[in-house]
């Protein structure tokens, strides 16, 4: 919030000199931020002088605050406008991520499956070649100069003919469209063979898989009947890793944290380090799909997850004393905190990515605002359906009333708590998650699980940023981020 109201022991804001800012107290210091994402830590005395207009104008601190847009009569509007455009460039691009669900069938039985996958014999949930062609046509109607096609499921490799067709067709169409085209395969890898790998590598497809930690933990969460899911994942992961190690397209892994993970942060991190992974993505459970029905067995509170996250993160910092190894959630936030280059992670945007950053295409041709909206359809809720590839147009879908409503709900200036939060420049809200957890796309942030987790992670990050040595580590992570990640 802007410090225009009285704070105990702090003078009222000097409106003529103080630029717009939000703040929070952190022990004996204050963190201030503004809409450009700039931040400063101030002592209590510095904060009092800043807000009262008594700060020495010849001081180094005054110069730094002026440069970063915190001093009203020293604003460099041209530079600040350029920085704002850079941070919000996604607003002019249109949907760039197109999630394609080629099947709902899967050979795994994961405890937390968000997609509510169906058994392998149910071929009624496979995308046809006819539908696939219409999906590709619709994708290339998108206005964005860059396109990412991401195969989801079920397990996409179950419907290999359609995966192969879409990859080939997209590459063919792009010879004329000349867009920046990326193709990602999100897979458990167990159905891969050498012929499939060769085809995917030839067409520069990125691989992303799930790895929940050591064998006992992974196999407990991700069940592959008759075999070890962990063994199959690592066998294929290592093969692809060797073949893509120095390429722009590669393989990455991420994990979903369950209750069984909470006591084992070091075991999980060590598994990723042993694999030669560049980092780890510590993702909390989502209240969608099967996880909702077994939450009492595999779920946890926001506070329990944050305790796990802090222990894992601090261990990762120890590892960085000998090698660069990042945590992906932190790296996304840090890009927003330390640079003007927003990484365009769709769940942490304002407005969010649904419909204006991503679109999801179901196996039957149904179009949804995002993959989470598509997942809700598996729970017999079509709230976020915005069309069908056989009807209407791309413009009809992206201009759908659902997209307009979601955009309004995810604009943080429209959320009372978010609009005043010191972390607003770095955060975002997913209305679909709000709807799934609280029954309303306009989330109630004080009790919203994702909000509490995101604020907790940002609290921890800023506590680490108070040490300049940690900032050097974090900037190394961001240099690594210039190499594109598949996940």
Low-confidence spans in the chain with pLDDT less than 70: 1-16, 115, 481-487
CA 213, CA 230: separation in Å to the nearest integer? Answer: 9
Where in the chain are the domains? 22-87, 257-351+413-487
Please state whether beta strands 279-280 and 146-152 pair in parallel, antiparallel, or not at all (unpaired). Answer: unpaired
State residue 88's pLDDT score.
86
| pTM beyond 0.75 | yes
End-to-end alpha carbon distance in the chain: 34
Please state whether beta strands 22-26 and 29-33 pair in parallel, antiparallel, or not at all (unpaired). Answer: antiparallel
How far is CA 5 from each of CA 73, 390, 398, rounded to the nearest angstrom? 20, 56, 41
What are phi and psi for residue 414, nearest 5 degrees?
-90, -5
What are phi and psi for residue 461, nearest 5 degrees?
-60, -45
How far is CA 305 from each of CA 168, 336, 345, rounded to the nearest angstrom? 41, 23, 21
- Pull the structure tokens for residue 171: 């590459």
State residue 13's pLDDT score.
59
Whether residue 351 has a cis bond before it, omega within 30° of 0: yes
On whether the CB atoms of residues 415 and 451 are closer than 8 A, the answer is no
Q: pLDDT per residue over 300-356, tens digit each? A: 999 999 999 999 999 999 999 999 999 999 999 999 999 998 888 888 888 888 888
Q: Which of 461, 351, 362 is nearest to 408 (CA)?
A: 351
CA 154, CA 101: separation in Å to the nearest integer? Answer: 7
What are phi and psi for residue 114, nearest 5 degrees?
-75, -25
CA 18, CA 11: separation in Å to the nearest integer? Answer: 12
State residue 190's pLDDT score.
95
274: left (phi over 0), alpha (psi -120 to 50) or beta: alpha
On whether the CB atoms of residues 163 and 126 are closer than 8 A, the answer is no
298 contact partners, CB below 8 Å, separation of at least 6 = 111, 112, 221, 258, 259, 260, 285, 291
CA 28, CA 30: separation in Å to the nearest integer? Answer: 7
């Amino acid at each position: 919030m802007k410090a225009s109201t009285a704070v105990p022991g702090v003078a009222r804001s000097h409106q003529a000199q103080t630029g717009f800012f939000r703040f929070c107290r952190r022990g004996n210091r204050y963190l201030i931020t503004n809409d450009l994402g700039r931040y400063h830590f101030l002592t209590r005395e510095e904060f009092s002088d800043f807000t009262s207009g008594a700060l020495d104008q010849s001081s180094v601190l005054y110069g730094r605050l002026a440069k970063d847009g915190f001093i009203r009569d020293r604003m460099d509007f041209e530079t600040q406008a350029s920085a704002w455009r850079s941070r919000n460039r996604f607003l002019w691009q249109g949907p760039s991520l197109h999630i394609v669900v080629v099947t709902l069938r899967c050979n795994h039985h994961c405890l937390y499956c968000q997609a509510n996958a169906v058994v392998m014999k149910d071929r009624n949930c496979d995308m046809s070649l006819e539908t696939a062609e219409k999906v590709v046509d619709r994708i290339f109607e998108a206005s964005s100069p860059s396109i990412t096609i991401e195969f989801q499921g079920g397990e996409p490799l179950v419907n290999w003919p359609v995966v192969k067709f879409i990859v080939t067709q997209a590459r063919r169409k792009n010879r004329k469209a000349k867009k920046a085209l990326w193709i990602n395969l999100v897979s458990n890898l167990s159905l891969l063979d050498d012929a499939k790998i060769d085809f995917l590598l030839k067409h520069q497809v990125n691989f992303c898989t799930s790895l929940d930690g050591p064998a006992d933990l992974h196999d407990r969460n991700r069940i592959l009947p008759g075999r070890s899911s962990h063994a199959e994942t690592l066998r294929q992961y290592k093969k692809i890793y060797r073949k893509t190690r120095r390429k722009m397209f590669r393989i990455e892994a991420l994990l979903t944290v369950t209750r069984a993970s909470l006591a084992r942060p070091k075991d999980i991190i060590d598994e990723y380090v042993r694999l030669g992974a560049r980092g780890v993505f510590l993702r909390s459970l989502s209240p969608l799909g099967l996880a909702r029905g077994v939450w009492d067995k595999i779920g946890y509170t926001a506070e329990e997850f944050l305790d796990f996250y802090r222990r894992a993160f601090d261990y990762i910092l120890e590892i960085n004393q000998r090698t660069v190894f990042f945590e992906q959630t932190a790296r996304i936030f840090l890009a927003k905190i330390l640079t003007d280059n927003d990484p365009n992670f769709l769940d942490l945007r304002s407005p969010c990515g649904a419909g204006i950053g991503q679109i999801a295409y179901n196996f039957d041709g149904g179009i949804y605002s995002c993959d989470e909206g598509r997942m809700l359809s598996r729970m017999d809720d079509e709230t976020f359906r915005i069309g069908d590839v056989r009807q209407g147009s791309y413009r009809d879908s992206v201009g759908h009333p659902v997209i307009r409503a979601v955009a309004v709900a995810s604009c943080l200036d429209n959320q009372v708590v978010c609009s005043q939060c010191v972390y607003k420049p770095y955060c975002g809200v997913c209305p679909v998650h709000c709807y799934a957890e609280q029954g309303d796309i306009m989330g109630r942030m004080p009790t919203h699980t994702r909000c509490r987790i995101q604020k907790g992670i940002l609290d921890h990050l800023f506590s680490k940023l108070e040490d300049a040595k940690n900032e050097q580590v974090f900037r190394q992570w961001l240099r690594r981020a210039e190499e594109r990640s598949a996940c």
